[in-house]
Structure 1
Amino acid sequence: MHINLPTWLTLFRVLLLPVMVVVFYWQFPGHNITAAIVFMLAAITDWLDGYLARRMNLTSAFGAFLDPVADKLMVAVTLFLLVETHRGGWPGILMAVTAAIIVGREISVSALREWMAEIGMRATVKVANIGKLKTAMQMVALVVLIVQHEKSAEALRLYHIGEGLLVIAGILTIWSGLYYLRAAWPSLQGDGAGRPLPRGED
């Protein structure tokens, strides 16, 4: 199997995840800023691999499969790290609930897209602008929270900004999830006659 440049970038993004985890927990001076830089590098490859795939017409089935998986892994792993370091009290509860909403939405929309693809209606739930806005807000919030996860007194205000941005991203997550559900609802209301059932339900 030939692996093109955009797919190599996607694989590189996946490989950056364990690096970020190690740096996040490794208590050396500036480790939080370094972890944020690793996360931003992964986010840049997310944009760059899609840009190159479109610009240079370098698409592949493996790349199309791996790209959304890498995106969701990047966000989920980062949220799990932040939740683990923010246990206790209302800030911890807020972080955990927001993370659960974001990860739950990603799982639900992925399952919805897979089901729609199996009945030949994949285009109905294509990426919308609200989803892109949610992703942008989410990335900014996660970078701020990675940098400020130690919540030092002088940086507490910026940490609260990161919290606020993540809550906004969570609200946009619900909004975009409802958008996709609304788009797929006519198909979901059918009885499935003449259509293949999703795996696990046949």
Structure 2
Amino acid sequence: MRGMMTFISGGVRSGKSSFAERLLVEGADQTDGRLVYIASGRAVDQEMQERIDQHKTDRADESWLTIEQPVALEEVLPFIEPGDYVLWDCLTTWLANEMYEEIEHTYCVHVEACMRKKATQLMGTVAAISEKAAQFVIVSNEVLDELPSVYEETRMYSEWIGLLHQALVAVADDAIEMDSGMPLYWKREGQVAMR
């Protein structure tokens, strides 16, 4: 039976990760389930290292199995067990990593159909994790409120975020937008919120 899938988006420092962690810890406590944290961040600079360290500190009180997976999310599948409570943080970091994966002396973003292939693989992986996990929470940054960029690659990045957000929300049970630490449910257990 497919587990519960939740998609959480929001701006930087909106409380997405801590809210996602609380959701999963509460679920795991009720069933004595295992907590799994899939981390897609790479420590490319001091600020990112500090954010990664803070996330680790925030999770220190719980026994999370952490899987560092900046690209190729499908590689986590052998490590996910039935009944796990899985957090993937985050889609936007993974997307940037995948766009700039080197392929044929260039980046994926410049190779015809490379990103479509990665998006298809991602959706298959999300479905496979959802089939195994009791609960699967995906965190993503909301960057689409900005004006369109003058830079082509930034526009492509925004377009892919938008497409992936729509695809993930379509298959999610819950879709939540975080704002100042408060969750706004746009979709709850398959029902779209009416506004």
- TM-score scaled by structure 1? 0.29
- Whose Rg is larger? 1
**Structure with more of its chain in strand, by fraction:** 2
Of structures 1 and 2, the one scoring higher in RCO (CA 8 A, sep 6+) is 2
